[in-house]
Amino acid sequence: MRRILLRLSYSGGGFCGSARQKGVRTVQGELEQALGRLGEGGRTLFASRTDAGVHALDAPVAVDVKRRWQPQRLLCALNAHLPEDIRVWAAEEVPSDYNPRYRALRKRYCYLLFVGIAPAAWRGFVCCVTEKLDFEKMFLAAKRLEGTRDFSGAIVRQNRRSIWTVERFTLEKATVCGGEVVCFCLEAKAFGYKMVRSLCGLVVEVGRGAVGVGQVEDVALGRREWRRVVLPSQGLWLVRVDLEGVRCGWQSSPTSTPIWQPLPPLLRT
């Protein structure tokens, strides 16, 4: 067996998440079907899982193959058998014990929020609100959520872990089609279940005036009662995963790349 690391992009609207589930359409299920059509049935190891409706520009997946595929030939063969809402855009051979889940150095998620009437072509790719938001307060609130802290009051917990480190939480906005698109960007080594959408939801509540800037840390810790807001999945994008010991992927520095740069040109209007 040889192990090939693939980089996938996918439009998440048609999937019940990335991980294989019985009886529903998933990214892993479609990838394994495509591999099966090529006579391959080895393991598929994802670096990061995404929920139903979440999109990805850079989702690393290691696959085991029996034949001596050249990485680029496997890329082309898979794209010929995959549905149009999944594409493989990079491939390279890695050691047989390489597991991208445990080699992730940093993950970047972006959440796109449109304030106003969103362009029809963006349907399913952004979350829309019509009320005005205080962007300056939202920016300050996001910065207060950076660092290592207890997020038990602001996230949906699946296990006992509540301490997480958010390395970067920034916002940018642009005027588009008579409205404003706001891009939340979060970077960390790992994120909890629905953590990105929950933290973005908290910042939006600050923009609405429901939570004060000075209260976000108490809310995150659970010292202040708050109705948790988890934003819809269609606005969330897994933009990049930096991995240890590989070449393919985004080549620019995550600290110098504008957060709009990895997004589709339509979203950088």
| Residue 210 CB contacts under 8 Å (≥ 6 apart), including other chains | none
What's the Cα-to-Cα distance from 199 to each of 11, 36, 84, 124, 209, rounded to whole Å? 23, 39, 31, 20, 16
C-alpha closest to that of 27 among 42, 43, 14: 14
| Distance separating alpha carbons of residues 153 and 143, to the nearest angstrom | 17
Supply the DSSP symbol for 224. S
Q: Which residue has the tokens 């597991």?
A: 99
Q: Which of 51, 58, 97, 150 is catalytic?
A: 51
Helices (H), 60-188: 71-81, 135-144
- Yes or no: say if 113 and 126 are a contact pair by the CB < 8 Å rule: yes
Residues 7, 3: Cα–Cα separation, whole Å: 13
Residues in contact with 119: Cβ distance below 8 Å, sequence separation at least 6, in sequence order: 176, 177
Residue 262, C-beta contacts closer than 8 angstroms, at least 6 positions apart: 57, 58, 108, 110, 239, 240, 250
Specify whether 85 is catalytic.
no
Residue 130 · residue 196 · CB < 8 Å: no
Q: Is 62 helix (H, G, I), strand (E, B) or coil?
A: strand
Q: Annotated catalytic sites, by residue?
A: 51
